[in-house]
Amino acid sequence: MLRLHSYWRSSASYRVRIALGLKGLTFEHFTVNLLKNEQSQPEFTALNPEGLVPLLEHDGLRLSQSTAIIEYLEEAFPSPALMPADLQGRARVRAICQMIACDIHPLDNLRVLKYLTGELGLSSEQKDTWYAHWVIVGLTAVEKRLAESATGQFCHGDLPGMADCFLVPQVANANRMKVDIAHLKRVVEINARCMALPAFQQAQPSACPDAVAA
């Protein structure tokens, strides 16, 4: 049994939900309500001392970090593959994933935004400017990467894969925060193509069991 500790609006959890869906894996969903700070409560930090979602439990393993989780799923359940067969293709996919997971997401994470408006005393407008800035910088770099010939209908080739698991939640965050990314044509087109697929639709925040009407 796969158990996923997740929050509907967590984009790192969304990555894992997409990967599970693409692989056709069913899982038990456990909500960690970030707005209620449940990620920092002892009940959850006993499972994941980092105090972050997602957390996957499988066969006695408790695994944090969406990238590690998706790579674990890829190795434990190889078919259908989310990574290309060739060495260089896999390296390219990892690079795109890290552009999002390492160069965008940590700058705009909830605890960072809270620190900006809390300890550093920034206004809500300044916080939103910070947020939009790093999304635009990061997704512009992704857009340039997607101009490469290895890109197909999806981030890498013509099948949805690991890089798409990372791109779509980051686009969802940008849209939710009203960051204008319409000029990033490849990003927008690939996101739309992904969102036409059931695995992406079923993983999206509004489809989660803990979703709250906006």
Ligand X SMILES: N[C@@H](CCC(=O)N[C@@H](CS)C(=O)NCC(=O)O)C(=O)O
Q: Closer to ligand X at the Cβ: 120 or 147? A: 120
66 binds ligand X (CB under 6 A): yes
11 binds ligand X (CB under 6 A): yes
12 binds ligand X (CB under 6 A): yes
* Contact assessment for residue 10 and residue 54, using Cβ atoms and an 8 Å cutoff: yes
10 binds ligand X (CB under 6 A): yes
Helix, strand, coil percent content, the chain, rounded in steps of 5: 55, 10, 35
Residue 52 to residues 37, 145, 147, 189, 201: CA-CA distances in angstroms? 10, 29, 33, 30, 24
Q: Which residues contact 37 (CB under 8 A, 6 or more apart)?
A: none
We find the least distance from the C-beta atom of residue 147 to ligand X, in angstroms, to be: 26
3-class secondary-structure state, position 178:
coil
101 binds ligand X (CB under 6 A): yes
- Looking at 20-28, 47-55, 73-81, 197-205, which segment touches ligand X (CB under 6 A)? 47-55
- Which one among 109, 117, 140, 201 touches ligand X, defined by CB under 6 A? 109
- Contact residues: ligand X, CB under 6 A: 10-12, 34, 39, 52-54, 65-67, 101, 109-111
